[in-house]
Amino acid sequence: MMSSQLELTEHLIQTGYLRSPRIISAFKKIDREDFIPEELTGQAYGNYPLPIGHGQTISQPLTVAFMLELLSAKKGDKILDLGAGSGWTTALLAEIVGRQGQVWGTEIVKPLAKFGQKNLTKYHFAQARVVPSGNKLGLPQEAPFDKILVSAAAESLPKELVRQLVIGGKLVIPIQGSIFKIEKVPASAQTPSRDGSATKTKKQEFPGFAFVPLINSNSHD
């Protein structure tokens, strides 16, 4: 068991899951212990998921590192963090994009959204917040986004999230038992998109992951 955020970060570097300097710097600064229930602080740096209440978990650090590397967020990006939970990924992304960027974390479980926002305030990020999910998937009123990170598993690719991306944007999302990197690109005249739009998607699949299911509902109180 790792005993500090720095030790956890070094482990993820040595095992090849963390590679990018900006993501490594964020992992070193944003302490996972600040985003879990107090009774679990002794397990904060374990490389496994932890319960955060309401049937939800904070993801395994290995998985978070893997997804952030796929997302490739950069300074100044506008990002949607869907399924923010206790706010850890939102805080990591806020550190990565800097004050020139913007991060919207959404969480379907209202008490967790409140918990996530409270945790986020420990870092005084003016560029980030965690809000309760609305009736529509994602945050269409704030779209378009440069990047979208989803921390719950969909049954299929949600087209409404692709619509909320800029052209050239990336979506990293679990679909069933795999993590997918989706890139929204212009459709060429030779290869038009199936729905007749001016864009299409490029997909990469990385199997072997498990997540809580993605639910499009505003009924969790």
Is residue 136 a contact partner of residue 160, using CB atoms and an 8 Å limit?
A: yes
Mean pLDDT of 190-212: 74
Q: For 29-70, how does the pLDDT look when each residue is reduced to its tens digit (9 = 90+)? A: 999 999 999 999 999 999 999 999 998 999 999 999 999 999
Residue 4, number of CB atoms within 10 A of its CB: 13
**CATH architecture entry for 61-207:** 3-Layer(aba) Sandwich (3.40)
Structure confidence at residue 135 (pLDDT) = 87
For residue 59, indicate whether it is catalytic: yes
Q: For 157-190, how does the pLDDT look when each residue is reduced to its tens digit (9 = 90+)? A: 999 999 999 999 999 999 988 999 999 998 764 4
Is residue 20 a contact partner of residue 38, using CB atoms and an 8 Å limit?
A: no
Structure confidence at residue 216 (pLDDT) = 52
Listed by start position, the domains of the chain span 61-207
Residue among 3, 59, 86, 156 flagged as catalytic: 59
pLDDT band of residue 210 (cuts 50, 70, 90) is confident
Mean pLDDT of 3-9: 96
**Residue that has been written with the tokens 């004050």 in this structure:** 99
Closest CA to 214 of 160, 156, 165: 156
